[in-house]
Structure formats: C-alpha cells, structure tokens
Amino acid sequence: MGCSRANVRYPLMLTILGFAMIATFLVLIMMKKMSPIAALVLIPALFCVFVGKGAKLGDYVLDGVTDLAPTAAMLMFAIVYFGVMIDVGLFDPIVRGILKFCKADPMRIVVGTAVLAAIVSLDGDGSTTFMITVSAMYPLYKRLKMSLVVMTGVAAMANGVMNTLPWGGPTARAATALKLDASDIFVPMIPALLVGLLFVFVLSYVLGVRERRRLGVLTLDEVLVEEKESETVLVGAGGSGDGKVSMRKGGTGATGGAGSGADAPEAAADSADDDGFQGLDPHRATLRPKLYWFNALLTVTLLTAMIMELLPIPVLFLLGAALALTVNFPHIPDQKARLAAHADNVLNVSGMVFAAAVFTGVLQGTGMVDQMAKWMVDVIPAGMGPHMAVVTGVLSLPLTYFMSNDGFYFGVLPVLAEAGAAHGVSPVEMARASLVGQPLHMSSPLVPAVYVLVGMAKVEFGDHTKFVVKWAALTCLVILGAGLLFGII
C-alpha cells in the first residue's frame, strides 16, 4: 500500500516541481532579478536537487548539450555568415527599399518590420530572419527612439506564423510523428495561416499607430530628397547628429523623448547609448559591390540546400561562412577583423543555447516534462473527446512554449491523436491543430533563435516576454478560429 502511494505521489511531485521550475524561471527573468543565462543554469540545477536526482545532474546536462550542440554550431556560423553578408552590402538594397517605404513614420516602420520578417522567414530559419530584420530596422527604431520590444515582438510573431512552412520544422515533425504527408497537413492550413499573417500585419499597424501617437509626427529633414541622402540618413542613421532628426507634434516643436507605457519598458533608453550608435553606413569599408552577385548566388544556393536538406544545416553554414570569408576578405587580417566584429553576438547566443541545454536536460532527464504533459492530457474532460482537435490547438500554446518542438510533436501529439482517434477525430486534423501555437512558440525561452533576436536588438528577454506573450497568444487563437471557420480543423 505504502509503495503504491509513493508511486502515485512521485509523478505528481514531478508535475508540480516542473511547473514550479518554469514559473520561477519566468518570474525571475521578467522581474530582472537574474540574467537569462544564470536563470537557465541555476534554477534547473536547484530543482534537480529538489527532485532527489542531484547526483545525475551532470548526465542530464551532457544529454542536453549533446542535443543542442548542432543548434549552437548552426547559430554560431549562421551569425558569422549573415554578419559577413550584411558587412559586404548584400542586403542593403532590401534595407533601402523597406526604409524608403517606412520613411520616418512609426506606423510604416512597424508594418515594414512585419513584412520584412515574413519575407525573410521564407528560408525557414528563425535566426536568419531575426539577424536580417534587426540589422535592417534597428538603426531606425533606435534613432527615432521607438520601442524596441515592438520590433522584437512583431518580428517574432511574423516568423512564428511563417515557421509552419513544411521546411520550417513543426509541420515536418507533426507529419513524422503521425505518419502523414506534410502537404496534407500544410496545404489545407494555408487560408488559416494567411489570416494569422494578416492579423500580424493589422496588429503591426495598430502598434505603429500607438507609437506614432506616443512620439508625435516625426520627420527626417532631407529624407528622400536624393537617393544618396536617403541612404545616408536612413541606412546609416548614426548617432553623431548628422541625420538631423526633427520631431513635431501637432505642428509645434516637441522633444523627441522616449515616452513611457506598459508595452514599452525599454523605451526610455539611455541617450548615451544612442549617441554612440552607428547604423549601416552606405560607405563602409567592408562593402564589396563587385562581388554582389556572387554573394547573392551563394546565399540563394545555401538557402536552397537548406530547404532540400542536402547536408545538415550546421555543416552548410560552416561551409558557407568559410567560403564567404575567403572570397570577400582574402587577407587573413581582414578575416580576423570580421570574426572579431561578430564575436560578441556569437558568444552571447551560443552561451545562451548551452545554458538552455541545462534547462531542457533537467526537464527531460528527471521526467518532469513527461509528467507535465501527461497531467495536461489527463485533465481533459471526457466530454471533450469529439473536440480533441480544438483541445490540441489550445494546448499547443502552453505546451510548445514550455517544451521543445521535438518534445511536443514526438511526445505529446501522438497521445492526443490517439485520444482523438477514439472519438472519430482524424490524425490529419490533429496535426493541423498542433501548428496553431507556433507564433507563441517562437518567443519561448527554449528557442535559441529568440536570443539572437533580443541580443541583437539589445532588449531584455523579460521585457520581450512581457510584451509579446499576450499578442502572440491572440495570434494563435485567430489562426485556430480561422481554421474552425474554414472547416480545416
């Protein structure tokens, strides 16, 4: 009898401690009591001891590192590759086009951020999307003192919707887990996903209007008078004062302060940081206009190879980075200088990934994540059986936020699909519903790409989380509602 009770209590204890660990982590980073790296390492280590498996912490961490090492390698060399491409000017025409559309209107800038993130997301890789989007838009947000969490939030949501592409990961995982064809899952979901993307654009418009009201009507003197001046002011919006930013509100002079508001916690940025900021200088020494088409072809080839899975993604980026450095900067001192220029981002992101390996390793190794998922499935009322697709869509929000995609799609989705099949719900409907949570998933602390986003944008992860969670969850529910309306789910 005593043994039976112990067997019942231990899984319950794991469930409670699992939720407590995640809650502790989120509270501490949102309150800025700990840095994300410290929280990702120390909190799971402490809870591992609470579970009574402190002696196995080393094994759990090594397992987590082994699982995430390819991701860390991919991010390291992806940052170097796209950093070099930004240095040599590959994306300057795209940046100029977006900024010409945006001018100095906060509403257009926020909408332009969403559009740019959605377009770049076609490659299926979140880190690539965030590197290009932030590199293009950060100078304008910083110079005009716009809320940087608006930029990170909009980019994350747009990428989250586009992450459902068959080569993006979740769709392929769902298809593999339930033994389905990826096209049978994705193609019917296109209308609902388009509604979700449209909602992100509308939300971007609303957030942009809010920024416009907060900052007033902004104009950049000499903007778009000439192409050259447009490039200098917008693409190279340095902090020396040469950009001649003037701000007018209601036709009268106004100070372009950062403003305040619950959704812009970092808006009151240090002006000294702004003064030292330099954007994409159209006359920088690293530009390689004669190699533009080589770099464009190399990038297209690299992305095509990623989509076709010709080689593992880390290997592709390793080869691409080596080739890009060698061709664009044949002299070794120049190569060292480019690597040094991007070393800060590489160290921050790779460090965060390996810290996250401790978190995921403890969650999985102790069995907490399995018990949490089992508990959530068990609490579903029996009467909800015929509506298991809707239940799966709703559960995908918290489960893909607190778990890795692999854990959800290979561990939880098959259990949900089996329960749905018992009530006549087809596996393909369950698979489509499982994609609903991706806009929120892209801001999960377990997604390495989000650290690229917040790191390059110089935004605290806690601030990003507080801003984006409600909007991303709403986007997920819009996609679920559209799927139900169109009869897809």
Q: What is the pLDDT of residue 313?
A: 81
Q: What is the pLDDT of residue 475?
A: 97
Q: What is the pLDDT of residue 453?
A: 92
Q: What is the pLDDT of residue 98?
A: 74
Stretches where the chain sits below pLDDT 70 are 1-9, 216-281
Q: What is the pLDDT of residue 476?
A: 96
Q: What is the pLDDT of residue 432?
A: 95
Flag whether the pTM goes above 0.85.
no
Q: What is the pLDDT of residue 237?
A: 32
Residues with Cβ < 8 Å from 85, sequence gap 6 or more?
A: 91, 295, 299, 324
Q: What is the pLDDT of residue 405?
A: 83
Q: What is the pLDDT of residue 252?
A: 35
